[in-house]
Structure 1
Amino acid sequence: MSPDSPLDERALRARDWAGTQLSLSAASRFAPASADASFRRYFRIEDQGASWVLMDAPPEREDCAPFIRIGQLLLDAGLNAPRVLAQDLAQGFLLLSDLGRQTYLQAFTEDNAQALMDDAIAALIRWQLASRAEVLPEYDEALLRRELSLFPDWYVARHLQRELSLAQREALRGVEDLLVASALAQPRVYVHRDYMPRNLMPATPNPGILDFQDAVYGPITYDLASLMRDAFWSWPEARIERWLALYQQQARAAGLPIAPEPEFRRAFDWMGLQRHLKVIGIFARICYRDGKPHYLADVPRFIRYVRSVAVRYPQLAPLLGLFDELGLVAAA
């Protein structure tokens, strides 16, 4: 197997391991496929018209076991996740079926967006219907609060170089209490945690689902908020309203415990807000801890998300005031 570009020592080991698993010829192609915000990276292997994906997850940094276990849960639910064809957990290598080269994020057009999102909503409902308690880790109060702490710790303190006053800390804590209480009050289902266009692929059956290793058992609106309020793509509000109505109609018909309006909409909005604050903090952490600054370019999208939600609920006025005081006013 010959690489298309020079490979580091670990990539060479991964290439040789994959070649042994598949009994490939020297003419097979092995090239980077993608990387993500963690320490995982992916290579695509091609030989005689067939292709596979190799996940490289350094075991001192990443644990492959959740990926294997949760991937099987998705497959058991009738969804399209990569199949594990071979594994070496000691080295951190997984050989996977190849779901394709394009994500939803890359594939979206005006003509196909409706069909792709309809399929994503249907798949989400199937995932939620498969839920069972005590299978996945709980999305509990401790985890919700750890995620919320990323915003003041990494974005405010590290990126903005600002120290919140006592009044500002109390205002933020009050909003966090509201968001956590709302999340914990929701019906609980399997939660992918990054169910967004970057992790969905046009495939047969559609969609192919990626990056699910952090799945938990938690609030029913979380994955829907991830899908509608994406980190890298913003939808017109009219489309979001149509898709929210479609989800509610189909989820209720399937027997999921969907609250009536406006309770459902508030739960959705506040769950999204918890995620928005978390992601702002994560993007700052990825920049300063992991040396990947390009994620910060998408923070203005999340500032807009936060402000658009906070302005609709009087209870969230302290958060809007805090953003004003911090100068977090995203351009239109």
Structure 2
Amino acid sequence: MNEKIREFLNLHYNGEAVETLELLSGGGSSRKYYRFYNSDQSFILTESENVAENQTFIYFTEHFSKVIENLPEIFQVSDDFTLYVQSDFGNRTLLDVVLKSPDEAKVLYEKSIRQLARMQILGDENLDYSKSFSYPKFNSTLVLRDLFSFKNYFLNLLGIEFNQGKLIQDFEKFAYDFERIPEQYFVYRDFQSRNIMVHENEPYFIDYQGGLKGPVQYDLVSILWQAKTDLSEIWKEECYEIYVKKFIDLTRQDLDGIQFRKGYDLCVLERLLQVLGTYGFRGIYEGKKHFVESIGFGLKNLEKIKNYSVLENYPELKKIIIKLTETSTLQTIKQIIDERQIKH
């Protein structure tokens, strides 16, 4: 424990806080999380040198807590914004639940989706997007970044053959179409079951500091198409209908169902390719076990969309997706990983 943390805890809590401080296993970021106890109540201490990101999280938490209750409470913040104390929701995520008890998870998914809609639509009002951490808007620039990450860290590492000129044309058209999806509100950006804690049978959202303005369907896609959960098509459709009903209730506007579904399908394609780009970089390139293990699930999702009508607008990309669903692709991945001598 560094002296800065010790002084911070001693300033705001009793001696039990320092004595019980325990470093928790981290996620995919440079943030460090600690659990400590004070007067028989547990708390989470977050440590991060990324002040801008911390300030965004604190601002978003304060803002969205006005419209939903299932967010952490921020109790203390250091003067330099590198330390803050938030609610402790335990160690159980929605991912843990869905992998072990799908029936229990179904209710939690429905609750999460309804709360998501409230966060996106009601939370969009008076939200200062200039305080977003990275990008204020999910625009074509961000989409192209995701698509080129998929090309560079997945397709190129696998040695998949394609017409680069035609693929780039598809990327540009896709980014143009994506940016014009009509339903633009707050987007969590990484609304997946690892970022939903389950505490006392209720879902609580964490890690939303990457949020920005964008198509609401993206978050729905993120949770329903998460590779590892492998939700059934029936389950996805039920959740989709729940979300659409809640969206209409909250916006109090007529909804063009066909247009909304087209936006959803575009978000499916964007999310699946973005995820594979991440898996390629973290898994194939960096050799991280969790991401390597997830590649097969990601490719299984591509199998489900290879006949999507929306893909007809991007012919070279469709050819690549079909290629990636061939059984030889996984064999190629395994060979590349072996050659890189990845140690799990």
The TM-score, its normalising length taken from structure 1, stands at 0.84
Contact 2:93 2:194 in 1 (8 A): yes
Q: What does the per-residue CA deviation read over 1:43-68, in whole Å, with 9 as the maximum and x for residues that have no partner? A: 111244210001121338x7311111
Aligned equivalents of 2:302, 2:256: Cα separation in 1: 23
Q: Does residue 321 of structure 1 match 2:319?
A: yes
Deviation of residue 21 (structure 1)?
2.6
**Match for 2:43: what amino acid?**
W
Q: Which moves more between the two structures, 20-29 or 322-331? A: 322-331
Q: 1:262 aligns to what? A: 258
The verdict on how the C-alpha distance between 1:135 and 1:222 changes in structure 2, with shifts beyond 3 A counting, is: same
Aligned equivalents of 1:290, 1:38: Cα separation in 2: 15
Contact 2:94 2:197 in 1 (8 A): yes
Q: 2:272 aligns to what? A: 276
Identity, in percent, stands at: 20
Contact 1:191 1:222 in 2 (8 A): yes
Q: What does the per-residue CA deviation read over 1:3-31, in whole Å, with 9 as the maximum and x for residues that have no partner? A: xxxxxx65x75355334431233784222
**Match for 1:144: what amino acid?**
V
Deviation of residue 303 (structure 1)?
1.8
Q: What does the per-residue CA deviation read over 1:235-270, in whole Å, with 9 as the maximum and x for residues that have no partner? A: 011111111111112221222657433332222122
Aligned equivalents of 2:270, 2:199: Cα separation in 1: 31
Alignment of 1:107-118 (within 5 A): 107-108=97-98, 109-118=101-110
Alignment of 1:227-306 (within 5 A): 227-255=223-251, 259-287=255-283, 292-306=288-302
Q: 1:6 aligns to what? A: none
User: By percentage of residues, which structure has more helix?
Assistant: 2
Aligned equivalents of 2:176, 2:326: Cα separation in 1: 23
**Match for 1:222: what amino acid?**
Y
Aligned equivalents of 1:253, 1:26: Cα separation in 2: 45
The verdict on how the C-alpha distance between 1:199 and 1:312 changes in structure 2, with shifts beyond 3 A counting, is: same
Q: 2:70 aligns to what? A: 80
The verdict on how the C-alpha distance between 1:326 and 1:29 changes in structure 2, with shifts beyond 3 A counting, is: same
Deviation of residue 287 (structure 1)?
4.3
Aligned equivalents of 2:324, 2:102: Cα separation in 1: 36
Aligned equivalents of 1:208, 1:121: Cα separation in 2: 12
Gaps of 5+ in 1: 1-8
Aligned equivalents of 2:322, 2:103: Cα separation in 1: 38
The TM-score, its normalising length taken from structure 2, stands at 0.81
Pick from 32, 40, 43 the counterpart of residue 41 of structure 1: 32
Q: 1:309 aligns to what? A: 305
Aligned equivalents of 2:297, 2:254: Cα separation in 1: 28
Aligned equivalents of 1:172, 1:310: Cα separation in 2: 19
Contact 1:79 1:127 in 2 (8 A): no
Aligned equivalents of 2:252, 2:190: Cα separation in 1: 21
**Match for 1:18: what amino acid?**
L
The verdict on how the C-alpha distance between 1:91 and 1:264 changes in structure 2, with shifts beyond 3 A counting, is: closer
Equivalences, count: 318
Aligned equivalents of 1:257, 1:132: Cα separation in 2: 16
**Match for 2:109: what amino acid?**
M
The verdict on how the C-alpha distance between 1:301 and 1:271 changes in structure 2, with shifts beyond 3 A counting, is: same
What CA RMSD, in Å, does the superposition of the two structures yield over aligned residues?
A: 2.9
Gaps of 5+ in 2: 130-135, 331-344
**Match for 1:224: what amino acid?**
L
3-state SS of the aligned residue for 2:214?
Answer: strand
Q: What does the per-residue CA deviation read over 1:42-101, in whole Å, with 9 as the maximum and x for residues that have no partner? A: 1111244210001121338x7311111111122122232222222236472211121232
